[in-house]
Structure formats: C-alpha cells, structure tokens
Structure 1
Amino acid sequence: MKRRISLLFIAIVAILFFLLNRYVLSGLQIYTPNPLLSLTFWLVVSLIVLSLIFAINRINTLGMGNFFKIATHAFLIWLTASLIFTIVLALGDGYRLFTGGPRSLYWVEFATALFFATVLLFVYGMIRGKYAYRVIKHTLFFDDLPEAFDGFTITQISDVHSGSFNNPKAVQRGIDMVKQQQSDLFVFTGDLVNNKAEEIKPWISYFNQIKAPFGQFSILGNHDYGDYVKWPNDSAKRANLDLLKTYHKELGFKLLLDEHITLHKDGQNIILAGVENWGIGFGERGDLKKALNGTNPTDFKVLLSHDPTHWEAEVVKSPSKVHLT
C-alpha cells in the first residue's frame, strides 16, 4: 500500500513538473517556432531530472558529495525560475482574456528576464553567498541573571560545513570577524562538516585562532555523524566520528556531549550545557536530562543545541528552566 502511494505521488509530481515546463516552453516559443528551441529545452530539462534521479538513487554509495549538490541545486534553481516564469506568464495570459488578442511579447520578455535573474541570484548565492558573513547582535535581558554576568558577551557561529570551503581568504575574513567581537565566550553549535571529518583538516589553523576568556565550546550537528555517507562498516563510521571529536580538540573547542560546565565570575556562576544533535527527522540523539544532571533548578542555564525543533519539542517543557538556547 505504501509503495502504491509513493508511486502515485511520484507520478503526480512528474505530471505537474511536465505541465509546468510545457507552459514555460509555450511562452518561449513566441520568440521563434524553430523546433530546435523545443529540442534544446527538453534536453536541458531531461538532463536536470536524470541527474537528480541518479544522485538520489546513488546517495548511499556516493553520499552528498559535489555531484549530489550540483544535481539538487540545478533542479531547485530550474524549478524556482520556472515557477516565477509561469506566474508572470499566467498574469499576462489572464490579462489577455479580458483584452483579447495574441499573447503579448512584453509579458514573455518580463518573465524571461525574471527567469534568468533567478538563476543568476541562485548561482551567486552558491558561489559567493556562502562567504557573505554578517554579524547580528542581540542584547538580552533576564531578571535572574547573576549580577556578575551583566554585560557578558557570547559569540555564536553554526553550520560551518567546511567541506564546501574553497576560498582561504574568505574563510580568514570570517575568522577575523569573530575575533573582532572580543566576546567573553565563544560557542559553535554544530555541523562542522558536510559528511566526513577530514573536511575540517585544512581549516584547523584558521578556526583555532578563535579564543575567548571563558573558553570555546562546541556541539555536534546532524551532518557531523556521517549519516549521509555509505560507510564500509559501522567501525569506519565510528572512527570518522572519533576523528571529528579529535579535530574539535585541535580547534581548541571543548565538545559538550550531553554534559555541562560551570562558568565562574566574581563568586557567581552560570551553567553552559550542550547536547548531541536532537532534531525531528534528523536523529534524536541528545539527552537534555543527562546534560542538566547535577544542576539546580535555580541555576541560570545556557543550552547549546543544533536543531531548533529541539527547543520546541523538549527544552520549553523541561522541568529545569533553560534561560537561553
């Protein structure tokens, strides 16, 4: 029964995707009725779809490597650009129903311009956007924050995905931005790599430049466990995770695995806890109860957790109040 539903869903999606592209092509044909346009169009669509199917089918053997990323991004770009083209063209066709006459070249040109603009924006985002770092500052107020920690600063970064880096100067610029904050505490909240521990090795000398008076702490994200790679055996997968934990040490990060530490300042303290990844649909490994074991209900607590769904599903329901996640 489940297989029938899956096949039906795939068939419906395939039909809708075909109709979407058929409508896009009908708009493009206003430029020229040459059959070569149709042939080229369907060849491009077929290449994108077949690449996506191959990438998904071989994900267990090839993992989420460069081919997978290129195939999925190409499909996403084409789908988004085609939808935008369709919306604009549909508006033009709707207008034509009231005014009569043939399809207007204006609407097709407008739709085409937005199509290529969408493609260019996506490509820019993939190539340059990953290095478009920003510093976002928030000032938080708590009635029960220990007085000694008034004005205490924390710098957080997340989702480094170091396997996607290929520009040392851009990475160094990001590191310099972190260092310029001169925060009391630095935390990294998961996804150091895309799939394998070795991805971070070329960048260790960059990230271990980060220092903070109260220390540098980290947790794991869903990508850090190697779940998206076909390993020869469980031992190889465990070895990869162990190696990644070693690299956290080389980075100067104290990795918190369902545990907590106490930060002391002027005779007062706060709790910094960290859990393994807990995310709906992405592995519910983290143990919040274990991480907070030994703390008092009245302690001021900061929790490091990779997936926002953890906060909604568990953290807000915790009998031991967590002040900041």
Structure 2
Amino acid sequence: MNSKALIILGVVLVVITSIDLYAFKGIRLITENISPMYRQIATGIYWLFNTTVYLSLIWTVLNLDKFRLPEYTNIFFSISALLLMSIATKLVFNIFHGADDLAYMGSKVFHFFQNGSKVNPSGDTISRARFLTFVGAGLATIPLGAFAYGYTKGRFNFRVIRKNLSFKNLPKAFDGFKVIQISDIHIGSFPKGHESVAKAIEMINSRNPDIIVFTGDLVNNFASETDGWIEVFKNLKAKHGMYSILGNHDYGDYVQWDSATEKIQNLDAVKKANRDIGFDLLLNENRAIEIDGEKIGIVGVENWGLKPFPQFGDIDKANQGLGNVPFKILLSHDPSHWDEKVTDHKDMDLMLAGHTHGMQFGIEIPGIKWSPVQYKYPRWAGLYEKEDQKLYVNRGFGYHAYAGRIGMDPEITEIILKS
C-alpha cells in the first residue's frame, strides 16, 4: 500500500472513530439505568459492529487494486452499503445527543465573555440530555432501517411503471404499441444466479411487449460479468424485436488495461453479449418497424454525455435513411444528451435514457420527488417534455457503487404509445 492510501485510511479511521466514540457516549447515557449485564451486552454489540466496519474498511483499502474486478464487486459494494449505514445512523443519533452539549457549551462561552463567571448546569441538564439522546436513538432507526431494507430487499424490488404517451404524428397502426424499457443492468453487481433477475424477466414477458429496448450499461466494466447470465436474459421475448445501445460503463473506460487491444477486445465482447442475449445493438444506427404498411423508427446512438463522459453519439449518422418515417424513438443512455443535442432534432419524438439510477436514493411520494442526483442531472427520473418532444429517464435495473436502493426501486418501464 502506498503512503497516500495509508494517509487516507488514517484520516477516515480517525473521523469514523470520533463519530463512534461520541455515539458511544450517548449509548452509555441511555443505558445508565439498566442492569450492568445488559449494559455490557449493549456495549459489546456496539463495538463488535464498529470493529466489523473498521476491519471492512481496512480490507477495502488494502485491496483497492482489485476494486473493479468482477469477483470482488459484490464485496466492495456491500462494504460501501455497510459504511454508509453506519455513518448515517450515527450522525442522526449524534445530532440529537450533541444538541444539549452544544447548548451548554454555547451558554458557558456566552457567560464567560459576559461576566467571567462560571456556569453550573441546571438541575435538569442530565434529564434533558437523556431525553434528546433517546429522541436521537429513535430517529436513528430511520436510516438504519432504510439502509438495511435497501440492501436486503430494495435493490431487488423490481417495479413496473406504466406510462401512456400520446403523439400527434404516431401512425394509427401503432396506437397502443407497447414499449418495455430497461436500463443500467450492471449485471456484475448482482450475486451470481440471484433469482431476482429471472423474476424481473418474467415480469417483463408477462407484459407482452411489442418491443423491448435496453438503454445501456450491461456491465460495470468487464464483459466477463455476463458469464452465466446470457441464458437467463435470452428468455426475454418481444413481438417486434429487442434493441439495445451502449452506456458509459460498457466501454471499459474505468479500468487500467494492459493494452489498447485488450480494451477493444473487452468492448467487442460486451457487444457480442448484447447480441447473444437477442438484442439488436444499435451503434449510431436505426431500424424501421412496420405494421400494416405504416412505420416508426428506432434510432440508437452510442454514449453521449457531458465531459468527461465520452461523446460517441451521432444523431445525424444514426438517423440516415429514416427521412420518410413519421415517428421516431431515440435510444440514448445519458439524459444530458436531451438538453445539449436532442431538442435540436425535432424529428426525435421520444427519447429513452437511463444512466442516473435516481442515485439509488430518494423520495417519491405524491407532491414530493427528490434525490440528490437532481443537482447534477436536471432530467433524472421519469417523464420530461419540451413542446412536442418527450424524454423518459428510467431509474435503472441494477445498481452500482453501493449495494442498495432506498426509495428508488429498480424499474421496468412500460410505455404505451397513443395516437
């Protein structure tokens, strides 16, 4: 391990230990009136959990060189979920536990500068401190429960979101045409053979789609992540075909390759995996779908994102030959493409994207739609419109960076086209 990694590990451990020690002060306060045996049990459980976090963090730093290898992905993402759960829970607890300490210290400083006198805590200081600490303990169960749910169930809790989208120029033969969209599979993040993936495919097929579109990020980095999964995804069925594009992760840009040739070979293998599944992979290309003599176009571009993401997508090239087709669906991985380029192409009636995952964390209830990712991506989940054009951003099939989803379930989008 190099000196920089050691310094980072040391700083992180100091910060986390400081948070833990202050939280432990609160634990001691709220357990002071229980029997010594139960108090010791509570203390033991608390430090056993923290020791697990410390050892996991140390192991992560010692094995950073393996971070992007498929066989280590689940371990790293699970550790990140554990770390986030630990920090979020204790921070909520410490805010309330520390409120009385801050108030007391503020009063002490104020009186010192006021008259130099000492301040004695009021008779109810301990009871008030205990009350606030109990409140903090109760509220801390919210992030604790949320992260536990996100890890154990949320990341596998697929939901179908149904949208009826009307277009003036949709050919009548396509009225009621059903498009199923999935995005950001990140198959290397799933435990090998996990039953949730097969169940999600059953959910898709049960919708009896006319077409299935996949808007990129089949893998995290390596084509080998698809080993054992191709046969599972081959079960996808659609009446008029399945179409896919590449996402930013599919290009292998986040890995140090031994040679440029190795990187190209990996990308070729990712493309082959798309085709082996049954997707018609569109690389700045298009296809026309015909029903009763009428046509719509499926336009697929390579990844285009705001820098430093690659900008391989070429709408003009992808659109060649579709001049007489009255309605077009554009598949583009990154929703940034919409504002930067797509709205200048008025013949792209509907754009389907993914990429953001809804940050795998957010709140979506009637009247409230929020996620931290919205501060980076204004179009981050759901439907957006500008004049006659529409954009739909899928929240993602898989997960990345941490093994969990909180308030942002994995999504299968069912779009019904209406004329």
TM-score, structure 1 as length reference: 0.81
Are residues 1:171 and 2:197 paired? Answer: yes
Which residue of structure 2 lines up, in the alignment, with residue 288 of structure 1? 315
Deviation for aligned residue 1:117:
4.8
- Cα distance between partner residues in 2 of 1:23 and 1:136: 43
Q: 1:3-56: CA deviations, max 9, x gaps?
A: xxxxxx99999987676555434423424699x889778756654654554465
What is the alpha-carbon distance in structure 1 between the residues aligned to residue 141 and residue 169 of structure 2? 53
Does the residue aligned with 1:229 lie in a helix, a strand or coil?
coil
Determine the structure 2 residue equivalent to 1:65.
73
Aligned to 2:27: 28
Residues 86, 111 of structure 1: 8 Å contact kept = yes
Q: What letter matches 2:229 in structure 1?
A: W
What is the CA deviation profile of residues 179-226 of structure 1, one whole-angstrom value per residue up to 9, with x for unaligned ones? 011011111111212222122231222211112111011111122222
Higher RCO (CA-CA < 8 Å; seq separation 6+): 2
What's the secondary structure of 1:193's corresponding residue? Answer: coil
The equivalent position to 2:93 in structure 1, one of 85, 98, 101, is: 85
3-state SS in 2 of match to 1:115: helix
CA distance in 2 between partners of 1:266 and 1:159 (Å)? 33
Q: Which of 121, 124, 145 is the aligned partner of 2:170?
A: 145
Matches within 5 A, 1:23-172: 23-30=22-29, 31=31, 46-47=54-55, 49-51=57-59, 53-54=61-62, 59=67, 65-90=73-98, 100-102=124-126, 103-163=128-188, 164-172=190-198
- When structure 1 is superposed on structure 2, of 306-315 and 133-142 the one drifting more is 306-315
Using the TM superposition, name which of 293-302 and 176-185 deviates more: 293-302
State whether residues 162 and 192 of structure 1, in contact with CA within 8 Å, keep that contact through their aligned partners in structure 2.
yes
Report the Cα distance in structure 2 between the residues aligned to 1:222 and 1:282, rounded to whole angstroms. 7
Q: Which amino acid aligns with 2:167?
A: F
Over the matched positions of the two proteins, sequence identity in percent amounts to 35
Aligned to 1:227: 253
Give the equivalent residue in structure 2 for 1:5.
none
Secondary structure, counterpart of 1:260 in structure 2 = strand
- The equivalent position to 1:301 in structure 2, one of 312, 325, 328, is 328
SS in 2 for 1:135: strand
Change (3 A) 1:297 1:233: same
Per-residue deviation, 1:268: 1.6
Which blocks of at least 5 consecutive residues in structure 1 are unaligned?
A: 1-8
Q: Given the superposition, is the C-alpha separation of residues 300 and 13 from structure 1 closer, same or farther in structure 2, using an over 3 Å criterion?
A: farther
Counterpart contact for 2:247–2:303, Cα < 8 Å: yes
> Residue 177 of structure 1: CA displacement?
0.5
> Counterpart of 1:149 in structure 2: which amino acid?
F
CA distance in 2, matches of 1:116, 1:146: 53
What is the number of equivalent residue pairs in this alignment? 315
Shift of 1:168: 4.3
The letter for the 2-side match of 1:216 is M
1:245-284 pair list within 5 angstroms: 245-280=271-306, 281-284=308-311
Counterpart Cα distance in 1 of 2:71 and 2:320 = 37
Say which SS state the counterpart of residue 270 (structure 1) adopts. strand
What's the CA shift string for 1:253-275, capped at 9, x where partnerless?
Answer: 10011111111122221111111
Counterpart residue number, 1:244: 270
CA distance in 1, matches of 2:14, 2:87: 14
Tell me, yes or no, if structure 1 residue 203 matches structure 2 residue 229.
yes
Q: What are the ranges of 5 or more consecutive residues in structure 2 without an aligned counterpart? A: 1-7, 33-38, 108-121, 352-419
Q: What per-residue deviation string (whole Å, max 9, x for no partner) do you get for residues 117-154 of structure 1?
A: 53343233223322211111000011121222111110
Aligned residue for 1:136, secondary structure, equals strand
Task: Name whichever structure is richer in helix by fraction.
Answer: 1
- C-alpha distance after superposition, 1:38-77 (max 9, x if no partner): 9778756654654554465764789972343234323322
Q: Could you tell me which residue of structure 1 aligns to residue 239 of structure 2?
A: 213
CA deviation string 1:269-317 (max 9, x = no partner): 111111112223433222223222333387321111112222232222x
Amino acid at match of 2:26: G
TM-score by length of 2: 0.64
| Structure 1 CA distance for aligned equivalents of residues 55 and 86 of structure 2 | 11
Cα distance between partner residues in 2 of 1:84 and 1:243: 46
Equivalent in 186, 202, 218 of residue 212 of structure 2: 186
C-alpha root-mean-square deviation of aligned residues, in Å?
3.5
> Which residue in the other structure is 2:414 paired with?
none
Is this contact kept in 1: 2:97–2:133, CA < 8 A? yes
What per-residue deviation string (whole Å, max 9, x for no partner) do you get for residues 214-264 of structure 1? Answer: 101111112222223332222222111111211212111100111111111
The DSSP-based 3-state class of the residue aligned with 2:165 is: coil
- Greater per-residue strand proportion: 2
| Shift in Å, 1:321 | 3.0
Distance in 1 between residues matched to 2:293 and 2:300, nearest whole Å: 23
